[in-house]
Amino acid sequence: MAEKCDPQSVTRRDFMGGAMAAAAVGGARASGSPATLQATGAPMIELPKLPYGESDLAPHISQETISFHYGKHHKAYVDNTNRMIAGSELAAASLEDIVKATAGKPDKKGLFNNSAQVWNHTFYWKSLSPKGGGQPTGKLLDRVKSDFGDFAKLKEELAKAAVTQFGSGWAWLVVEGGKLRVEQTPNAETPLTSPAKKPLLTIDVWEHAYYVDYRNRRPDYVTAVLDKLINWEFAAANLG
Ligand code: MN
């Protein structure tokens, strides 16, 4: 597992994946290697390390799923973002600024989709923990009780948002207007782009998040996440 998380091996895969994708997208400009992009002097958007080992969420989410979801999907969003910002006015921008600057702009759709997916996945990994599940405590639990009635109701709403999101997307717990709210977003859409909203945690409901382990049984994946993996400490830290 440590081997799979080795930045060296990730970089090698990145190089190959990046070069292949650049060849597909850029034709003759097939030198889209990290070295070439870094030569522009711009800081690169990085693939953050997973906050746990690839197999640490098993049996609820398998090592195979994490390996592909983090090592291929998340990584591809990072690579695509870096390719799209290279040499542009957003080349030196932070990930958050890239997402916010491209949201809702039809001519920036590709960059929005990829950069928002980078941010959403980083947030998702932190929303899970091998020691997750259970229920929130302290101030977050107090807020859950005042805004939902009780924890069971919040859990039910999160599950419903995750299960009923049609097609690809995300379920979120956010703070909006001083109240906790559950919401769902399609595709790469993210509450990060709404100044009035502060995301506390998220559940990825794209098929790639669960198909290896659960096939089409998204409700079973959502139940496992909520019962065994969801990271209430992360949500509490975001609540502040
Ligand atoms: Mn995903």
Domain boundary among 92, 127, 162: 127
Domain-embedded: residue 133: no
Domain-embedded: residue 179: yes
Domain boundary among 67, 93, 127: 127
Residue 189 alpha carbon to ligand 1 centre in Å: 12
| 100, 198: one domain | no
Q: Please report the pLDDT score of residue 40 as a whole number.
A: 53
Residue 8 alpha carbon to ligand 1 centre in Å: 23
| 92, 199: one domain | no
pTM: 0.83
The number of distinct structural domains making up the chain is 2
Domain-embedded: residue 132: no
Tokens of 190: 């993210």
**In this model, does residue 129 exceed pLDDT 50?**
yes
Tokens of 48: 């953050």
Q: Please report the pLDDT score of residue 37 as a whole number.
A: 47
Which residues, at least 6 apart from 109, have a Cβ–Cβ distance to it below 8 Å? 102
What angle, rounded to 10 degrees, do the helices at 232-239 and 109-127 form?
110
Which residues have CB atoms below 5 A from the ion given as ligand 1? 204, 206, 209
Question: If you average pLDDT over residues 118-134, what whole number do you get?
Answer: 98
Give me the domain span that covers residue 229.
138-239
**In this model, does residue 168 exceed pLDDT 70?**
yes
Residue 204 alpha carbon to ligand 1 centre in Å: 6
Residue 149 alpha carbon to ligand 1 centre in Å: 31
Residue 188 alpha carbon to ligand 1 centre in Å: 9
Tokens of 83: 């390719």
Domain boundary among 98, 127, 156: 127
Which residues, at least 6 apart from 144, have a Cβ–Cβ distance to it below 8 Å? 136, 150, 151, 154, 180
Q: Please state the φ and ψ torsions of residue 163, each to the nearest 5 degrees.
A: -75, -35
| 161, 228: one domain | yes
Residue 218 alpha carbon to ligand 1 centre in Å: 13
| 91, 167: one domain | no
Q: In sequence order, what DSSP letters do the residues of 30-56 get, joined into one string? A: ----HHHHHTT-PPPP--PPPSS-TTT
Residue 98 alpha carbon to ligand 1 centre in Å: 19
- 61 vs 22: which has the higher pLDDT: 61
Backbone torsion region of residue 41, taken as left when φ is above 0, otherwise alpha when ψ lies between -120 and 50, otherwise beta:
left
pLDDT tens, position by position, 33-74: 444 444 455 458 999 999 999 999 999 999 999 999 999 999
Residue 190 alpha carbon to ligand 1 centre in Å: 13
Residue 146 alpha carbon to ligand 1 centre in Å: 31
Q: Please report the pLDDT score of residue 101 as a whole number.
A: 98
Across 5-19, 63-77, 80-94, 136-150, least confident range: 5-19
Residue 177 alpha carbon to ligand 1 centre in Å: 28
Domain-embedded: residue 40: yes
CATH number at residue 202: 3.55.40.20
